[in-house]
A = this chain, B = another copy of it.
Amino acid sequence: MENEPLRQIRKLSQYYAYSSIQMHEAIGHKAGLSGTDHKYLGWLIEKGEMTAGELANLTGLTTGAITGLIDRLEKKKLVRRKFAEDDRRKVLIAPDTKKIMALLQPLYKDFRNKSEQLLASFSQKDLKVIETYFRSAIEIMEATTHSLNKKQSR
């Protein structure tokens, strides 16, 4: 016999993940980006300028794939290649935040408004609960991913 509310939440969190993947892909598609390109563009915005190698490590993609990724994004003028001053083998990927925002914001607008509204419906205390949950859940998922990717292969 199982704790029913727990089972519910587990299922919901799974649905939540599916839904966000689907939405993410839909938005990317609408912006003329593949799911991958959209995802890593998000990372670039989030973490800012980084080298091709760092992105390869972060994403788990091969350096060849990263070259292609940068090529595609650069062709769309969403990022720019720069050689690092301290080491000219390194290629810094500089996201053009303005341009990326201009491309994506309109597509996220509806979602963002509705999310804003939803969050506004919670008390500060409840928001704290949600925040705590998120933080821990993220930690768990990242640890899981990490350990899976480490043990052999990839």
Residues on A lying within 8 angstroms of B by beta carbon are 5-6, 8-10, 12-24, 26-27, 29-30, 39, 42-43, 46, 60, 107, 110-112, 114-116, 118-120, 122, 124, 126-131, 133-138, 140-145, 147-149, 153-154
A-B contact pairs, 23 of them (CB 8 A): A5-B127, A5-B128, A9-B119, A9-B134, A13-B134, A15-B138, A16-B137, A17-B17, A17-B21, A19-B138, A23-B142, A26-B145, A26-B148, A26-B154, A27-B148, A29-B148, A29-B154, A107-B148, A110-B147, A114-B140, A115-B137, A115-B140, A130-B133
C-alpha spacing A144/B145, complex, angstroms: 28
C-alpha spacing A101/B29, complex, angstroms: 32
Q: A9-B119, A19-B137, A20-B141 are in contact. List 12 more A-B contacts (CB 8 A).
A: A12-B134, A16-B141, A17-B24, A20-B20, A21-B21, A26-B145, A26-B148, A29-B154, A107-B148, A114-B143, A118-B136, A122-B129
| Copy count, this protein chain | 2
Given A19-B138, A134-B16; A149-B26 close (CB under 8 Å): yes
Chain B contacts for A136, CB-based, 8 A: 118
